[in-house]
Structure 1
Amino acid sequence: MSEDNPHSSNGSSKGWLDKFVQTFTGEPQNREQLVEVITDAEQREVINPGTREMIEGVLDVADMKVREIMIPRAQMVTININETVEEFLPVLLDSAHSRFPIISEDKDHIEGILLAKDLLEYAFCVDRQVVLKDILRPAVIVPESKRVDVLLKEFRQKRYHMAIVVDEYGGVSGLVTIEDILEEIVGEIEDEHDDDESNNDDIRPLNKNTYTVRALTEVDDFNEFFNSNFDEEEADTIGGIVLNAFGHMPERDEEITINGFEFKITNADKRRLIQLKVTRPRDELSEQDETP
């Protein structure tokens, strides 16, 4: 009996491994062919769906720039260097973040990074006054165009977890953390501060008329918050509603008006919408202004 039975499980595994090895040792292959190999491996149950998604996440990260995954400037939670503990502590506790950019005049003037843990030594010393400038860590600055995989390597090698992102003119356009990169590879990372029952982080006001909204916000939650009537049969999330209206994968800063609501894409990658800026309909704003 031949040992090269193509129908045996060993033969199946060997065939996939041969393809994978050829990808790197044979003639140069393109990304699409590599994805085919990975998909074939999943179908043959050589790898599970989670592994396949992670491998594809790594491939996607290799093509990404920091601008595609950063937290936009408008969503940065910052602390002014002149604030007292009493003034900034509510912000620190409400956000549940562990690192905060410290600014002076505005978000273009980053003085450093505050680690929440650096405040612990002051917790039980009532006689010691917290002076922010004395406990700041240096801020790491990276350009929007920096490759995400390169930044991840730097995060690991230099052991820092946050970087401030600047545009070509030196203005601050956002920030990025090591968690943002890892989520592109393994999916959303939830911690003890995440609450599946709460949508406080899904919809946040920028001013009385405009809001930042996660694209994954469910349509019924969006409707309840804005008293709107988007069709829950059309899509599960508000990002799906927006995507259907565009008819294509929109890029950052593209805008569209649906049912009077103005939607602007503030964060998106090649596969999905991430964050939206939403402005209420003008007639609804007028009614609110007239309400005593």
Structure 2
Amino acid sequence: MATRSDDDGGSRIWRGVRHLIFGDESEPTLRDQIEEVIDEAEGSRPQSGDLTPHERQMLRNLLHLDDRTAGDICVPRGEIMSVASTISFDDLVAAFADAGHSRLPVYGESLDEVIGMVHIKDVFMANVDKSRDRAMTALLRNPLFVPESMGVLDLLARMRAERVHLAIVVDEFGGTEGLVTIEDVVEEIVGDIEDEHDEQEGAMLVMLDDGIWEADARLEIEELASTVDARLVSEEDDVDTLGGLAFLLAGKILQPGDSVCHASGWRLESIAADSRRILRLRLHAPDGSAQE
């Protein structure tokens, strides 16, 4: 015999299904019904066989997955690790070792001209079998090219259908906006996935002393301005991160120990970087004291 709670849950699900079928706008959607049930379970005492908090969060993520677009979840253009089509095979091997990724985009004249991608499996096979063709044309594979407005669910479906795990996100003018892997999509559901090659990273932003902050180069400019100093912004609209701001000001990749001054008087000091990007910076206030 069904209990009262079973009847309530069943009626909620039925109202959601009825809305989807008949378009009754006066009733909440099935999505709303499921989220309501999750909300009600948040403060309840856990029961055997019930959803764990992590499972409930994954379910929430699934419910809102289609609200996210490729542009929302992509690795920003400034952080894309790529190689030129003219790179030698030995340098390509070194690039994979440095990047720690299984796939690297290949560009022609600039990153706006992505002509393909290289998979580390193909590089490994060519390195082992000396009879294989090591030319870039023989190693190139085709990535997906998707608009930044494409929904994450549609992107996942296309990746599965075409069996391609890397997509180049392009803007309305055809320029490269960012890069998305299938891991990025899965992380939108299950949370961050770290493997044995992922390095432990420091906090995105931390205050060390009065007027001295340390930050990850991927820190969003908006968060930097709202937390540290409203003057720490960029004059260029296409700069979204602290690392991008430092690169724009210096005109080069700041190596550890190098610094550059912002118009506000803040000094941005690189404390970690590699040959391709700035990784972490220390911010020094104009007068060495905390800002209002």
Q: TM-score, normalised by structure 1?
A: 0.68
Matching of residues 192-271 of structure 1 within 5 Å: 192-196=196-200, 199=201, 217-219=204-206, 223=208, 229-230=212-213, 243=223, 246=226, 258=229, 261-262=232-233
CA deviation after TM superposition for structure 1 residue 147, in Å: 1.1
Question: Which of 1, 16, 29 lines up with 1:23 in the alignment?
Answer: 16
Q: Are 1:72 and 2:76 counterparts?
A: yes
Structure 2 unmatched runs, 5+: 247-259, 271-292
Tell me the residue number matched to 1:104. 108
Residue 153 of structure 1: how far off its partner (Å): 1.1
Which sections of structure 1, spanning at least 5 residues, go unmatched?
5-9, 203-215, 233-237, 247-255, 269-274
> Equivalent residue of 1:258, what SS?
coil
How far has the Cα of 1:230 moved from its partner? 4.1
Structure 2 length-normalised TM: 0.68
> Is residue 94 from structure 1 mapped to residue 98 from structure 2 by the alignment?
yes
Q: Does 1:186 align with 2:190?
A: yes
Per the alignment, do residues 131 and 231 of structure 1 end up closer, same or farther by CA in structure 2, a change over 3 Å counting?
closer
Corresponding residue for 1:123?
127
- 1:219 match: secondary structure: strand
TM-align CA RMSD: 3.7
CA offset digits 1:132-184 (Å, max 9, x no partner): 11121112111111111111111122211111111111111111111111111
* Counterpart-to-counterpart distance in 2, 1:42 and 1:12: 16
Whether 1:157 and 2:161 are equivalent positions in the alignment is: yes
Contact 2:225 2:233 in 1 (8 A): no
Identity level (%): 29
Distance 2:61 2:126 in 1: 41
Give distance in 2, aligned partners of 1:192 and 1:287.
30
Tell which has more relative contact order, 1 or 2 (C-alpha 8 A, sep 6+). 1
Q: Please say if residues 68 and 267 of structure 1, whose CA atoms lie closer than 8 Å, have aligned partners that are also in contact.
A: no
Aligned to 1:170: 174
Cα displacement string for residues 196-227 of structure 1 (whole angstroms, at most 9, x for unaligned residues): 3xx3xx6xxxxxxxxxxxxx52516xx59xx9
Deviation of the 1:48 alpha carbon = 2.1
Structure 1 pair 124–142 and aligned structure 2 pair: CA distance change class (3 A) = same
Instruction: Report if aligned partners of 1:72, 1:267 keep a CA contact under 8 Å in 2.
Output: no
Q: Secondary structure at the match of 2:149?
A: coil
How many residues get paired? 240
